[in-house]
Amino acid sequence: MDVMEVGLGHSLGLVANEVGAVLDSVIRTDPVALARVSDLVAEAPRVFVLGAGRSGLALRMTAMRLMHLGLEVHVVGETTTPAIARDDLLVVASGSGTTSGIVRAAETAVNVGAKVVAITTDATSPLAELSGSATVVVPAAGKLDRSGAASAQFAGSLFEQAVVLIGDALFHALWARSGQDADDLWPRHSNLE
């Protein structure tokens, strides 16, 4: 297909197909890890989220939704983020699982007795090794993969899209478990916009 023939509709279909396939793989590969993530978030006294770049933006979306559920959630790096402590949960996303700041934060969390959940493309990465609580492996291309084998999209786009949707699915599962309805959540929605 000629590059000039690739329009928005074609690209949207490609993205939808890739996202659907990668999420189906995540569901089939390790449903136990997915259930464990839900349990860890529900049981944690406080949840902290951290990712770099677009992965970090994706986890910020998850943090907002978890706050809507009434959970105490903090985005690492914000000026009001407290110290992580024993039994807290750190949810991290890094496609490579080697991003130095993310790995250092996970090491700190483990050292203080907090639990770590990692979302990554590499089950053998340093980040995955630190996340003894649960690791969600997303079989997407890393940001340096230019082969087009795992994804036709640029850099880590498919991974980042998966992080957004895993976060939304996590919220939805916890919302269903909570017994709250939309009217219960709405008062926690920002009113300073």
Using alpha carbons, list the distances in angstroms from residue 11 to 14, 23, 118, 140, 146. Answer: 5, 18, 29, 17, 18
Q: Tokens at residue 16, please?
A: 């939808």
Show which residues are catalytic.
160
Alpha helical stretches, state H, the chain: 8-29, 31-43, 53-68, 100-112, 126-130, 157-178, 182-185
Taking the CA atoms of residue 72, residue 157, residue 193 and residue 74 in that order, the dihedral angle to the nearest 10 degrees is 20
Please state, in angstroms and rounded to a whole number, the distance separating the CA atoms of residues 92 and 90.
6
38 CB contacts (<8 Å, ≥6 apart)?
170, 173, 174, 177
Cα separation, 167 vs 57, in Å, equals: 11
Query: How far is C-alpha 14 from the geometric centre of its chain's CA atoms?
Result: 22
Q: How far apart are CA 78 and CA 158, in angstroms?
A: 26
